[in-house]
Structure 1
Amino acid sequence: MMKKLQKLGKSLMLPVACLPVAGILMGIGYALSPGTMQGGDITGALAMIGLFLVKAGGALIDNMPILFAIGVAVGMSDDHEGTSALAGLVSWLMIQQLLNPAFVSIIKGVEADAAFSKVNNQFIGIVAGIIGAMCYNKFKSTKLPDALSFFSGKRCVAIVTAVVSIVAALVLFFVWPVVYNALVWVGESIMGLGAVGVGIYTFLNRLLIPVGLHHALNSVFWFDVAGINDLGNFWAGTGVAGQTGMYMTGFFPFMMFGLPAACLAMYHTAKPNKKKIAYGLLFAAAICSFVSGVTEPIEFSFMFLAPGLYVVHALLAGISGAITVMFPVRAGFSFSGGVVDLVLSSFTPLAQNTWMIIPIGIVVAIVYYFVFRVVITKFNLKTPGREDDDDEDETKAVLANNDFTAVAAQILEGLGGKDNVVSLDNCITRLRLEVKDYTAVDEKKIKAAGVAGVMRPSKTSVQVIVGTKVQFVADEMAKMLK
């Protein structure tokens, strides 16, 4: 189970890599064009540039579930082939259409439950991606009778995916409203608990991020589902001083300071040979979180690789949220809890002591850093840069020559030929293969290609240590396997 979660986590790295720049663009855009955030007039050249940047970043942030559907489908397929991406998109489109509120209303004969207006989320995207990958892996080599031969192999994947997605949509038709409405009930139940309620809400909000169900809770506190409308009242100045904004204030410390500090801890605990790779992702994600409050690039980078650590993060977020609202501090956001929203909200009538977010955030950052560092090292968690894909010296492996076609052919011969290879994958330095007959593998032939070594984790698994040029060898071998 843990291996499957880690594979899912790695699959999400592809779409997650798109998000930091989108969040930063939106943060800068809102700073240049505050009217975009507050629903006011947009006039002047800078405001128009800001609006342009907001829309550009929003194209990715707003469509994150689609990115997840495609990324997960590719990442979890056996050979990362484009057909799997198409299958993930097919599944996403099918489920969205079948659970669309307008269509559900027609089917039920009455107005659709509010839950169906929230099916455009990361959870559905991940489900669609998994469906696409599973259908691709299972049916990519299907042979049909001659009369239907056009649909054999990869052409049948989308068809099978559509059928499976119909079944998934049917299940969600009954299950989704129950889950959504249960979360709304939980939100309404903690409304009168003051700062403690804020802590519980913030904890649950983070805990539900992986499956996209946090929107149900958010609708209770931020909007007018239960009469709170924290977000709307704060920006309109129509709420109660000292109360309005309490369900947003607690997000600023961990979004602006806590999670960036967690990134620093993950960087410091990364393997020496992987620090540069980890830095590329974590630095951009930290800036994105601080500036715009978009935390998904950080959270999705470890939530599936180290789910226990994600629970720790949710607990820390809940505690920091509760403590923050105990102070006479109130701030709000229209987008998320980044520095842009903090500055803009400080000028609103219901804002209180927004400057205190900074000292509180510094304390939260210190706590996050040390807790993350201790937990990661003590339990050897596989956060970015700490995966078990290679040993410390594997990035130093050097091939005998740079003729990647010849190297790939030599390795393939040593594996017993293409008919003996079931699947091909690669990490940073290794080819990872599954074979039919382990007795047909000739390690001497493989090593003759100049590789650093060969490992046999199980009877059917073979790992060939190639070094940092592994991607080029893998690409050539994939052509040969076709």
Structure 2
Amino acid sequence: MKKQKFSVGEFFQGLGKTFMLPVALLAFMGLMLGIGSSFSSPSTIDKFPFLDYAFLQVIFRFMSTIGGFAFTYLPLLFAMAIPLGLARQEKGVAAFSGLVGYIIMHLSINFYLTETKGLAASEHLREAGQGMVLGIQTLEMGVLGGIIVGIIVYLLHKRFYTIQLPDAFAFFGGPRFIPIISSLVLAIVGIILPMIWPFFALGIAAIGELIQKAGVFGPFLFGAGERLLLPFGLHHILVAMIRFTEAGGTEVVNGNTISGALNIFYAQLQSGGPISPDATAFLSQGKMPTFMFGLPAAALAMYQVALPERRSKVKGLLISGVLACFVTGITEPIEFLFLFIAPALYFFHVIMTGLGFMVMALLHVVIGNTDGGVLDFLIFGVMQGTDTKWYLVILVGIIWFIVYYLVFRWAIKKFNLKTPGREPLTKDEIERSDAELNHGKGSQYDAARILNALGGATNIADLDNCITRLRLVVNDMGVVNDAELTASGALGVMKLDATSLQVIIGSQVAGVKNEIAHLMEDEHHDKN
């Protein structure tokens, strides 16, 4: 029994590592999307007219378009990254099968919805929990859809990538069988999912009705519910209900009856009249304590508890995630760093987000819009005057920063959570010194000289590298010239046994290894 628990834990730890590839892209693209969309929005241009130049706006729109890629296709990226990261062999086939399986699943969902007359009209997609995926109208499943596909494809890959079929079908055996079996299995999954999904939609509708009747607890339920539904891609339904329907309130503005929190805010902003705290209670202000203060504090805690040897590797990821979150309200690059690794911390984050909405509402802060980042804070808070009570966001935010920092730091250390930078050190990493990590930065190496010192291409049976070292298997250790390798710039030479050798190069090792591999290939071609 203990062995089974360990294997399950090991699987989820490995699963968390596979998320780093799409999350790293997400963090960078989030900055581009946030900056581009923020500085090209009409409200920003109204407040900062100097941005209203055609050339600048073309650049901002371009950034917004490119940055939106990762968010539009994030589920697909997960569907490919999970089998790619978890598979031990034939990784390319695993990623390709993830792509195939993801498309097949959504085609199957579309087929079911079409046959059962369940396709929603284009103007009601969000309310119906549907969306467009690669041009296919399907269920809006968010990253959960990609994760489902990725895990299924990985399990199929693990089971079948070495399968041998009868001679008549032998061509379809081995790795070629993986996209085939993935297509069949995920086609069936796509038929089953629409039968289950309506129960989620019914639950969300009930939450919307509860929010409307909950009084001061309504903002809490909305903020917590929106974060809770985010990993499942269902938060769009709740957000659309509150922003655009009676669930978000109804008010008369300039003689017109307006429903939905965001509709009310924009109508009041345009009319120049007073802004209703009842409407903004469900908008940007509620996110600000968490987005501008809480999650950056969580990132700081994750950085400080990372292993010293790993901090430099995770610093860039955390900084870009913090900037995306603080500036534009794009939180996924930070949330996905702990969502699946530490679900309890994510639940804490859910509660704190809900409390942020409730506290802002109780303090009668009136800052609208949708993003919850510093741009919303400045444009719809500070620049609208003290009537918005923007200064209270800072006071509450300081409390959120302290609470998030202390809770994340304590929980990660107490339960040894494998947040970024806390993965166990490998043997190679334990052996590496600071001198080795820094050696070779900006240096040029003579790959031909190193190859000759190793005895030439014919003496190398296997060539690879880790982060700082060439790792080799040689045919004759006696012809390896240690002094010549050192003179070529190597930090040291380690002979592990009669044929295994490590040459410590430093941070430029990948380039050196590739140059040596090219020289070996050229020498091989010349002989042939």
**Could you tell me the TM-score, scaled by structure 1's length?**
0.78
Question: How many angstroms apart in 1 are the aligned matches of 2:61 and 2:368?
Answer: 21
Structure 2 partner of 1:214: 235
Is 1:114 aligned to residue 114 of structure 2?
Answer: no
Question: How many angstroms apart in 1 are the aligned matches of 2:330 and 2:103?
Answer: 25
Is 1:230 aligned to residue 267 of structure 2?
Answer: no
Is 1:328 aligned to residue 364 of structure 2?
Answer: yes
C-alpha distance 351-207 of structure 1, shift in aligned 2 (>3 A): farther
Structure 1 partner of 2:254: none
Structure 1 partner of 2:305: 269
1:235 deviation in Å? 2.4
1:374 deviation in Å? 1.6
RMSD over equivalenced CA pairs, Å: 4.0
1:138-217 superposed matches below 5 A: 138-217=159-238
Matched position secondary structure for 1:328:
coil
C-alpha distance 66-344 of structure 1, shift in aligned 2 (>3 A): farther
- Residues 219 and 357, structure 2, Cα contact 8 Å, conserved in 1: yes
1:27 deviation in Å? 2.2
1:473 deviation in Å? 13
1:80 deviation in Å? 6.5
Q: Which amino acid aligns with 1:231?
A: L
**Could you tell me the TM-score, scaled by structure 2's length?**
0.72
1:36-435 superposed matches below 5 A: 44-45=53-54, 46-79=56-89, 81-100=91-110, 103-109=111-117, 112=120, 114-117=128-131, 118-224=139-245, 226=247, 228=249, 229-237=260-268, 241-248=276-283, 249-334=285-370, 336-346=371-381, 352-390=388-426, 393-396=430-433
Structure 1: segments with no counterpart, 5+ residues: 413-425, 432-443, 453-466, 477-482
Question: How many angstroms apart in 2 are the aligned matches of 1:184 and 1:428?
Answer: 55
Question: How many angstroms apart in 2 are the aligned matches of 1:348 and 1:236?
Answer: 15
Question: How many angstroms apart in 2 are the aligned matches of 1:234 and 1:38?
Answer: 19
Judge which range, 270-279 or 177-186, deviates more: 177-186
Structure 2: segments with no counterpart, 5+ residues: 1-7, 121-126, 132-138, 250-259, 438-449, 472-494, 517-528
C-alpha distance 134-198 of structure 1, shift in aligned 2 (>3 A): same
Is 1:14 aligned to residue 21 of structure 2?
Answer: yes
C-alpha distance 271-445 of structure 1, shift in aligned 2 (>3 A): closer
- Residues 77 and 137, structure 1, Cα contact 8 Å, conserved in 2: yes
C-alpha distance 320-80 of structure 1, shift in aligned 2 (>3 A): farther
Judge which range, 133-142 or 268-277, deviates more: 133-142
- Residues 188 and 220, structure 1, Cα contact 8 Å, conserved in 2: no
Structure 2 partner of 1:416: none
Judge which range, 141-150 or 84-93, deviates more: 141-150
Question: How many angstroms apart in 1 are the aligned matches of 2:313 and 2:459?
Answer: 26
Judge which range, 289-298 or 183-192, deviates more: 183-192
- Residues 333 and 342, structure 1, Cα contact 8 Å, conserved in 2: no
- Residues 242 and 352, structure 1, Cα contact 8 Å, conserved in 2: no
Matched position secondary structure for 2:223:
helix
- Residues 285 and 295, structure 1, Cα contact 8 Å, conserved in 2: yes
C-alpha distance 78-115 of structure 1, shift in aligned 2 (>3 A): same
Judge which range, 125-134 or 157-166, deviates more: 125-134
> Greater relative contact order (Cα 8 A, min sep 6): structure 1 or 2?
1
Question: How many angstroms apart in 2 are the aligned matches of 1:219 and 1:275?
Answer: 40
Structure 1 partner of 2:476: none
C-alpha distance 159-449 of structure 1, shift in aligned 2 (>3 A): same
**Structure number, greater radius of gyration:** 2
1:299 deviation in Å? 0.9
Q: Which amino acid aligns with 2:202?
A: N
Q: For this pair of structures, how many residues does the alignment match?
A: 434
1:56 deviation in Å? 1.5
